[in-house]
Structure 1
Amino acid sequence: MSRSRKNEAASAVSESSAGSSSETFDHEITQLTKLRSGPTMHMNKLGSRNDTNWISPVKMLAARESNCFRKSKFSRADGCHMLSRYLPVNGPYLVDQMGSCAYVSQFSFDGSLLVAGYQGSHIRVYDVEKGWKVQKDILARSLRWTVTDTSLSPDKRYLVYSSMSPVVHIVDVGSSVTQSLANVTEIHEGLDLSREDDEDEEDSFSIFSVKFSTDGREIVAASSDNSIYVYDLLTNKRTLRILAHEDDVNTVCFADESGHLIYSGSDDSFCKVWDRRCLTSRCQPAGVLIGHLEGITFIDSRGDGRYFISNGKDQAIKLWDIRKMSSNSTCINISRNYDWDYRWMDYPAKLREMKHPEDQSLATYRGHSVLRTLIRCHFSPDYSTGQKYIYTGSNDGAVYTYDLVTGALVSKISHHETTVRDCCWHPYYPMMISSSWDGMVIRCEFPGNDEAPLPLKRRTRRRRHLF
């Protein structure tokens, strides 16, 4: 990591800790986050009179070793309070580089595997614990444009991938075949989400997002025909189609482990909540959340069935509480009197501070750039940070991390030369992966390994991308 980049990251952390330019919003999630990631009452006694929110790790370790508070180990909140300040900013260390754009990067739930999807039909599964060795090299056939999304089953046995097609494919990651060439060395079973008996079914549509349910029995998908699909893997058939939005559905996910609630986000600028237990034949949502001025590129659930974040083409991340949602009949869309396309135009400067008159979000986070593609955002891990942060890719080649409560920028990692579409934080270690259109998948970590980071070799050839 260059000296200037280290200084940039350190400066950002210092600014966040001071909190001089940030306001804490007053909401239940503020207190929940502090309970998860802040020091306990006993540890607070170790803090200075001026600042009990920052306690020296040395004091915390000394208090634990001397059994000052009659506790032989740190509480989970104390652990998060200590770990969350060690941000994964050191590097970069190259994981892999391909001759095509990297679109997806995702850790398995336990962090032992990393999945990366590339535009050139490659999906690679890396064994994190064995020096990032490629455990599975998947080559898709008849791929349309790019790998739009991948999802690894909770048991790490199966992987599904999608493209600009109504057919989602599933691969056995646990098989002994390393070089998985679709339907040549291994069967990539196609899960067709289209059905001929749908009267309004289009001949073809694209799948932008696909996710496994927590029990691994279902997948949910978002499509360009304004719909959400649910596919049951046990019965091997599509079980639900919801005509959900007035425009492309770019992102979808299950809200929690139950699988009853589904969140969706669309180019119509609305986030919607769907309760499968009470869906009628008209498929009305349980509620709508209003606040984005442009289309939504990604949604990430906090996992509690209550809170989620969304990335928007209005260059903002928003935090939502579904208890504030409105009925479908009260949707208010802002009429656009300007011509703008995020795929090749910069966002108009005059619109950056514009706010929706009916904004229902809890907080808004700005600074990153959502252009050219469906850039993704995520909550930081619960185990090590108490979901204290929100992080996102950006069109300027950086990964931005914000404090959820204050909104302050705590780090900006700039190692890519072009768009970072996806990024992922290891569920247990201070390690972050970013995948970029420069073809590189890189990792940053704290404190970093003993070897000096290798210089990254840039591709000189440029291609224009519109997705």
Structure 2
Amino acid sequence: MTWTRKRLDGCDRGNGAEGSSGSQRISEENSYLNHEIALLTKYTSTAHERFRKVVPGKARLPVSPVQMLVGREGNYSGRGRFSSGDCCHVLSRYMPIYGPSVVDRMPSGAYVSQFSEDGSLFVAAFQESQIKIYNVDKGWRLQKDIRARSLRWTITDTSLSPDRRFLAYSSISPIVHIVDVGSAATESLANVTEIHEGLEFSSDASDYDEYSFGIFSVKFSTDGRELVAASSNNSIYVYDLKAKRLSLCIPAHESDVNAVCFADETGHLIYSGSDDCLCKVWDRRCFATKGKPAGVLIGHLEGITFIDTRGDGRYLISNGKDQVIKLWDIRKMSSNADYVQWRRDYDWDYRWMDYPERAKNLRNPNDLSLTTYKGHTVLRTLIRCYFSPAHSTGQKYIYTGSTDSVVYIYDLVSGAQVAKLDFHEGPVRDCNWHPYYPMIVSSSWDGVLANWEFPGNGEISVPTRRNRRRRRALY
């Protein structure tokens, strides 16, 4: 427990007790709330205590797979088998950092890379109106080659439905298009070989214009019945696919909304992130009566480029133009819905300027985040970040693309940089970790899709490897 206690003490952020024992008690409760994520992560990604060989006076080392196999044979845990935490303890040590092999190379920049929920499909979207869907289980065979409709500048986001039948894609336009990816045809040219149904996200038809606003982020709900979208007109939208109409439009922020997602499988909570530097939490069950967010997460000094949920309705991470990722617990959110964003006293534009040196050590005095992760860069485009998979790592890590052409992987609890995947020759806007295999695919503005893996021994059926060139994988 030593490492956990060190982490808790090191991240207390000024919640120390002063005065009475009551204040001490409150401080201890706050400390537990702040760092419950450390205990949850340990529970989901650490081997059973009885598999450990404790040497008095020395730090505990990770349990080796050999030790665990011996312990399982002796039924040390009393379960007669490995738990999911035991499995994650082994799998998370074999990180996908080798290679990479090149999945595909395109003449335009890659903006989106996503595995399906079961990992059988991979979606990549490129600037020049092209979306490719690869069948991972069949050696990265091209399953669908989609030419997008009504593209403006680039495809900003894509989302596969949970049943993998439909793909939604967005651009700098108030229309999201839906494609049937389960059809037999490989080529899908918008409204020529196949119909790309357009879903209208403009709530005011009288004020409609083809480019009145753009959509930066779009996500299916867990049940596949709804889409949630974030837009450049400061709003978030929920679209009912069965009724074929907008069911909710929220004027959510004071600037562009760059990211949005459902918090968990219920669909009641929505997280949003904006260029106004705020993340907000929206509870659809009470929005009609209150008309305000359930809470505000304050801490970033610059606009938010992406958010990812842990899937438990409590924790999320956000990537920011202040060059940091932040971890949040929504139970610590502020109820001050009218909070005025922090104003900088220097000129800076992330699209073409480096982040000012003087700003790198600044901190929002009202910061509510649990942990801050630094090392990557967020410039020129909306760089994305994610929790690592629950099945293979117990969500022990977070990972992100970066403008310096690298993929960074951080330890969720300690914040330490544990790997650095260096291959690309342009900004890595997106990257995605396979939900079950030790595999990460990164996509870059250099047009390359790169597949990083942990070398297999035949026990796991991974896609066929192509010729790869070795690059550095720094720890």
Alignment of 1:146-161 (within 5 A): 146-161=154-169
Question: 1:147 deviation in Å?
Answer: 0.6
2:96 maps to 1:96: no
Q: Secondary structure at 1:279's aligned position in 2? A: helix
* Amino acid in the other structure paired with 2:232: S
Q: Please name the residue that 1:345 is paired with.
A: 353
Match of 2:85 among 72, 77, 83: 77
C-alpha contact 1:220 1:228 (8 A) present in aligned 2: yes
Aligned to 1:127: 135
Q: For 1:440 and 1:39, locate their aligned partners in 2 and report how far apart those are by CA, in whole Å.
A: 37
Q: Any idea what the Cα deviations from partners look like across 1:71-93, whole Å, max 9, x if unmatched?
A: 33211111111111111100011
- Picking from 274, 278, 296, the partner of 1:270 is 278
Q: CA deviation at 1:61?
A: 1.6
How many residues are aligned here?
Answer: 439
From 135, 146, 152, the equivalent of 1:138 is 146
- CA distance in 2 between counterparts of 1:362 and 1:206 reads 32
| Unmatched 5+ stretches in structure 2 | 13-30, 457-461, 471-475
Is the contact made by 1:47 and 1:55 (CA closer than 8 Å) also made in structure 2? no
In structure 2, the residue corresponding to 1:77 is in which secondary structure?
A: helix
Q: Tell me how far 1:65 sits from its aligned partner.
A: 3.2
Measure, in 1, the Cα distance between the counterparts of 2:185 and 2:466.
Answer: 34
- Superposed CA deviations along residues 327-379 of structure 1, whole A, max 9, x for unmatched, are 23451422222111101100001111110000000000000000010000000
Distance 2:77 2:250 in 1: 54
What is the SS of the residue equivalent to 1:340?
Answer: coil
SS in 2 for 1:273: strand
1:434 to 436, 439, 442: 442
SS of 2:288's equivalent in the other structure is: coil
- TM-superposed CA distance for 1:451, in Å, is 6.2
Deviates further, 293-302 or 189-198 = 189-198
Aligned to 1:280, what secondary structure does the other structure show?
helix
Distance 1:94 1:257 in 2: 34
Counterpart check, 1:62 vs 2:100:
no
CA separation of 1:33 and 1:24: change in aligned 2, threshold 3 A: farther
TM superposition shift of 1:58 = 1.3
Amino acid corresponding to residue 43 of structure 2 in structure 1? L
Residue 311 (structure 1) aligned with residue 311 (structure 2): no
Tell me the secondary structure at the aligned position of residue 69 of structure 2.
Answer: helix
Matched, 1:454 2:454: no
**1:324 corresponding residue in structure 2:** 332
Distance 2:51 2:149 in 1: 56
| TM superposition shift of 1:40 | 1.6
Q: Which amino acid aligns with 2:51?
A: M
Shift of 1:208: 0.1
Structure 2 Cα separation of the partners of residues 35 and 231 of structure 1: 37
SS at match of 1:383: helix
Answer yes or no: is the 8 Å Cα contact 1:210–1:221 preserved in 2.
yes
Return the match for 1:180 from 188, 196, 213. Answer: 188
Deviation, structure 1 residue 292: 0.2
Q: Distance in 2 between matches of 1:202 and 1:147?
A: 15
Residues 323 and 61 (structure 1 numbering): CA distance in 2 closer, same or farther, change over 3 Å? same
Within 5 Å, give how 1:255-404 maps onto structure 2.
255-280=263-288, 283-329=291-337, 331-404=339-412
| Residue pair 1:284, 1:328 contacting (<8 A) in 2 also | no
Q: Take 1:156 and 1:110, find their aligned partners in 2: how far apart are those partners?
A: 9
Give the distance between the partners of 1:423 and 1:104, measured in 2 at CA: 8
**Which letter maps to 2:449?**
V
Deviation at 1:223, TM superposition (A): 0.2
Q: Secondary structure at the match of 2:280?
A: strand
CA 1:261–1:96 in 2, change beyond 3 Å: closer, same or farther? same
Of the structure 1 ranges 331-340 and 215-224, higher mean CA displacement relative to structure 2 is found in: 331-340
Instruction: Give the whole-Å Cα distance in 2 for the aligned partners of 1:140 and 1:202.
Output: 15
The structure-2 alpha-carbon separation of the partners of 1:203 and 1:160, relative to structure 1 and needing over 3 Å to count, comes to: closer
Q: Distance in 2 between matches of 1:194 and 1:228?
A: 11
SS at match of 1:378: strand
TM-score, reference length from structure 2: 0.88
**SS in structure 2 at match of 1:328:** coil
Preserved CA contact (<8 Å) 1:144 1:163: yes
Quick check: 1:290–1:332 contact (8 Å CA) kept in 2?
Answer: no
| Contact 1:285 1:328 (C-alpha < 8 Å) held by counterparts | no
Decide whether the 8 Å contact of 1:213 with 1:257 is kept in 2. Answer: yes
Structure 1 window deviating more from structure 2 (152-161 vs 444-453): it is 444-453
- Determine helix, strand or coil for the equivalent of 1:29: helix
Change (3 A) 1:85 1:334: same
Q: CA shift at 1:32, angstroms?
A: 0.7
Output one character per residue of 1:200-233: Cα deviation in whole Å (capped at 9) or x when no partner. 9996100000000000000000000000011000
1:18-37 matches, within 5 Å, as: 23=10, 27-37=35-45
1:165–1:204 CA contact under 8 A, matched in 2: yes
- Give the Cα separation in 2 of the matches to 1:370 and 1:392: 10
Counterpart of 2:199 (choices 191, 195, 210) is: 191
1: distance between equivalents of 2:105 and 2:10?
A: 40
Equivalent position amino acid for 1:148 in 2? T
For residues 425 and 10 of structure 2, the distance between their equivalents in structure 1, rounded to whole angstroms, comes to: 32
Measure, in 1, the Cα distance between the counterparts of 2:75 and 2:292.
56
Q: Answer yes or no: is the 8 Å Cα contact 2:232–2:256 preserved in 1.
A: yes
Equivalent residue number for residue 15 of structure 2: none
Mapping of residues 11-22 of structure 1, within 5 Å = none
Residues 243 and 283, structure 1, Cα contact 8 Å, conserved in 2: no
8 Å CA contact 1:94, 1:443 repeated in 2 = yes
Distance, in Å, in 1 between the alignment partners of 2:357 and 2:420 is 22
Contact 2:123 2:133 survives alignment (8 Å): yes
8 Å CA contact 1:102, 1:119 repeated in 2? yes
Q: Kindly tell me: are residues 78 and 455 of structure 1, through their superposed partners in 2, closer, same or farther at Cα, counting changes over 3 Å?
A: closer
Cα distance in 2 between the residues matched to 1:370 and 1:380: 20
User: Which letter maps to 2:389?
Assistant: P
1:239 equivalent among 234, 240, 247: 247
Deviation at 1:141, TM superposition (A): 2.8
Q: Residue 202 of structure 2 contacts residue 208 of structure 2 at CA under 8 Å; is this kept in 1?
A: no
Paired-residue identity, %: 63
| Cα distance in structure 2, aligned partners of 1:200 and 1:335 | 33
Instruction: Give structure 1 stretches of 5+ with no counterpart.
Output: 1-15, 457-467
